[in-house]
Amino acid sequence: MRSVDKRTKIVAIDGGIAMNNPTAAAITHVLNNKQEFPLCNGVEDLLVVSLGNGESDFGYQNQNSTPARFVRIAGEGASDMVDQAVSMAFGHCRTSNYVRIQANGIIAKKHGIVDKSMKSNKKADLLAMAEEMLAQKNVESVLFEGKKIVESTNFDKLETFTGELIKEQERRKTSILPTVLLKQNSTSPRTSSATTLSTLSSY
């Protein structure tokens, strides 16, 4: 990747390698950015929906291990650790202010939907897989006790959060204070820490 002014360049990889679950990064950005989010004082002021892309189907009976599968397992492990850490950060309001939607690959595999979608990218197949994922029971992280399957489905969780978002939108219509303060437009191109480091090292 090259900078806008073509003076610097960096080598970049897909964000999933370094940040398979960006939820924690997004939350800390908002909590520590008082310039843009002056009214956010803690996690109780946040509503967070974390959408996963589905867990793999690497069951204990699958003996065909490859380097690519180990990388996938490592990524899913890191993603689950972020989910657990975020749940602990939300504490008592984790079930009302934070939800993680992650499809269980083993369940989807059992119904043959994952295999079908991998062979074809037809819209109907993708919709069928999405409906199956939404119908699965939601999995919540429990403080210091790992995870548990709850009675609510992924669809139920999303529906509940949708209602909360609608209430928040109505509340903001009557508020005289801006929820987010937008930055002023800058004439200079935006630089990242990597770009800045690359520029400094070139001198």
What residues are annotated to the active site? 14
Rounded CA separation 61/136 (Å): 22
Contacts of 57 (CB under 8 A, 6+ apart): 105, 106, 108, 109, 114
Strands (E), the chain: 48-51, 98-101, 137-142, 146-153
* H or E element, residue 196: helix 193-201
DSSP string, 155-177: HHHHHHHHHHHHHHHHHHHT-SS
Rounded CA separation 109/151 (Å): 21
